[in-house]
Amino acid sequence: MRIGVLDVGSQAVNLVVSESGSRIEAKKPFPARSWKVRTRVATCIDPDGAIESKGRVRVADAVAEAVGHARRAGVEEIFAFGTAAIRDCANRDRVLDEIEDRSGIRLGALSGVEEAELTFLAARGWLGPAAGRMLLLDIGGGTLEVASGVRDMPELALSLPLGAGRMTREFLYDGDPPSSAAVRRLRRHVRGEIRDGVMPAYWPTPRTVVAASRTFYQLARLTGAAPMRHGPHRPRHVQRKPLRKWVERLSRLPSAKRERLPGVSAHRAHQILAGAVIAHELLGAFGEDTARICPWGLREGILLRRFTDRPESSQAASWTAAPWSRSLILV
């Protein structure tokens, strides 16, 4: 049976389609097809936290396009959800209604803790048991996830509102590039939130520190990691020491110049400075100098969970029959 994961985030709508009978092996890509539609909905959030009309149209159209791909691919079961940009916006119900009207799909939501757990599962699937106790770090657009454990699912997992997009909107709004005072305020805020919310001193010492997100991958490229075209199995790391210099450099560059840097995409250039600040403070709080980049993330974690024991991953977002699947089966 063909299944799909539809992920609506702050920058794009992503669809992954795979076979439910696929054999999942560590460090081997899922036999899957994927589509991505850029939305940059994070740039369409007003000061009150609501997604503006143009942003709602973008995301609804993108979900409808992804649903069309899923239908043509013969998807019979789908897990459709919105991440923090949708889950936490002030007009969430209106956004969900417009998406459903346009696409026929009602998005559910994973909690931040569930995102941390499932991303940890993906990292464990990629690195395997030899990684020992893992500390997972994941900087998203709206939230930061941290998890730790020695088995497939973490013993500790949490989520904080410290995403790169959110921090950019809340602190780095006074110019492009922002003022040095704004960057200092952001650094103090992130440091305090990690100290009080994560409390790194109480976490077990990890054997392997893993970073899973596009933000971390782009920061790894800035600090010398190989591009992904060299293959997903080539080890890549994000280094804390060079990050400090990159924070200083990025703070002096406007977004138009940041996007010319190695690995920095145009649609994330405006928030890569905030991502660098968060990553630098996070690694420092845990006393770590480096983190290994994992190419698998939340979507792969959802697929792994579905392929192993098929539990309900949450009450709000779960595997459901695709609206068109009955007609496809009958035909």
Continuous segment of H or E residues that includes residue 34: strand 32-38
**Is 303 contained in some domain?**
no
Residues 118 and 93 in one domain: no
Q: Kindly state whether residues 90 and 226 are assigned to the same domain.
A: no
Where residue 175 falls (left for φ over 0; alpha for ψ -120 to 50; beta otherwise) is left
Residues 6+ apart with CB under 8 A from 215: 139, 140, 164, 268, 271, 272, 275, 278, 279
Q: Do 118 and 198 sit in the same domain of this protein? A: yes
- The answer to whether residues 304 and 125 touch, using CB atoms and an 8 Å cutoff, is yes
Confidence of residue 11 (pLDDT cuts 50, 70, 90): confident
Q: What is the pTM of this model?
A: 0.89
**Domain total in the chain:** 2
Q: Is there a domain that residue 193 lies in?
A: yes
Q: What is the pLDDT of residues 150-169, one digit of tens each?
A: 999 999 999 999 999 999 99
- What span, in angstroms and rounded, lies between the C-alpha atoms of 288 and 224? 18
Q: Which of 40-49, 125-134, 292-301 has the lowest mean pLDDT?
A: 40-49
The single residue listed with the structure tokens 């899923």 is 70
Residues 93 and 147 in one domain: no
135 with 102, same domain: the answer is no
Clarify whether residues 11 and 50 are in a common domain.
yes
Residue in the structure block whose two tokens are 């893992």: 134
287, 239: one domain: yes
On whether both 104 and 209 belong to a single domain, the answer is no
Separation CA 147–CA 138 (nearest Å): 9
Task: Work out whether the CA dihedral 254, 275, 115, 19 comes out positive or negative.
Answer: positive
280 & 154 share domain: yes
Which residues neighbour 53 within 8 Å (Cβ) at sequence distance 6 or greater? none
Residue 113 CA, chain-centre distance (Å), reads 13
36 DSSP β-pair partners: 14
Would you state the pLDDT for residue 1? Answer: 81
What CATH number has the domain bearing residue 222?
Answer: 3.30.420.150
pLDDT at 316: 59
Look at residue 306 and tell me if it is in a domain. Answer: no
Hey, what are 138's tokens?
Answer: 């994941």
**307 falls within a domain:** no
* Torsion, Cα of 43, 110, 112, 125 (10° steps): -110
290 contacts 239 by C-beta, under 8 angstroms: yes
Q: Are residues 97 and 55 in the same domain?
A: yes
CATH code of the domain covering residue 88? 3.30.420.40
Would you place residue 25 in the very low, low, confident or very high pLDDT band (cuts 50, 70, 90)?
Answer: low
Residue 301 lies in a domain: no
272 and 179, same structural domain? yes
Average pLDDT for the chain: 89
Same domain assignment for residues 273 and 242:
yes
Domain that residue 104 falls in: 2-110+314-330
Burial label for 161, CB within 10 Å (0-12, 13-18, 19+), is middle
